[in-house]
Structure 1
Amino acid sequence: MARKGWIYQLLRARQAQEDVAKQRRTAAEITARRARATLRYEADRLSVMGEDLQHRTVSAFLASSAALHAAAATHAAAERQAELSARAAEDRRAELRAAARARRTIEQLHERHLAEERAAAQAAEQRELDEIAATRRPGLGQELT
């Protein structure tokens, strides 16, 4: 059957590729949201740690400085991760757009192919009807029965 030809199978493959691209985009967006949430948490944590500047001893001051330094490093790592996740999500969106464009192109090709098949079938049917009409046409001097 013409509907199960190579164009139809190519269309199915493009649809599957688009589905995979959607899943990858969704996973990347979830990762990016989590990274942004982690970044906000680390920023809040860093700001709270920076507020406590009163130290009673030198060792408390040193411990507080070390904790603040570690929190700043963690915040910087969270910033990098959020940026990488945002880039990955944008890349996945671009992949999805490309997959959707490829699917739409194949859909248009498939629709054009189906239209050509319908036109060819209609033309063949019309030729057959014309042939039937030509063979049933009475000649000169004959009556229709």
Structure 2
Amino acid sequence: MNSGNKAIFWKRLSEIRAGMLIPDGADPRPMAHAVRSEDNALWFLTDKASDVAEAANRRAKARHVVSSPDAKLYATIDGQLSVETSRDKLDDIWTPMATAWFEGGRDDDRVCLVAFRPTRAEIWATKGTTQSLYQFAMANLTAGSPDLGEHEILEF
């Protein structure tokens, strides 16, 4: 990734289904996310009575940590949470999996739509397993260091 290249970040992030969300003042929790780069946001569905909803109601800062060798992305993403009420956005990100958590489906009174808008992300974009193995082998042969990918800080 070249410095400032957010498009690759968003593309690789969209290949990851979940991460650890850490709202300011709350414990980390695994959360599935929907990535919408056009909104500059990750979207979460949670129960209105949850710590995540409470944090989003007060527009708390949060951190979302993702890790995926398949997507070739490891990232710590900082941003701000907010509760959103758009029915169109809820329809956009709703999945059959969400129905397992909300008996009444998208009309369940407990559904809370939360936006997480990144302000900064520290990312490691790797080259994949085969390329990494090659880099390790070459480093051992040449006494050099392996080139495992790029490390970058993105500001949003």
- TMscore range, shorter length: under 0.3
Q: Which has the higher contact order (CA 8 A, sep 6+)?
A: 1
> More helix per residue: 1 or 2?
1
> More strand per residue: 1 or 2?
2
| TM-score, L = length of structure 2 | 0.19
| Larger of the two Rg values belongs to structure | 1
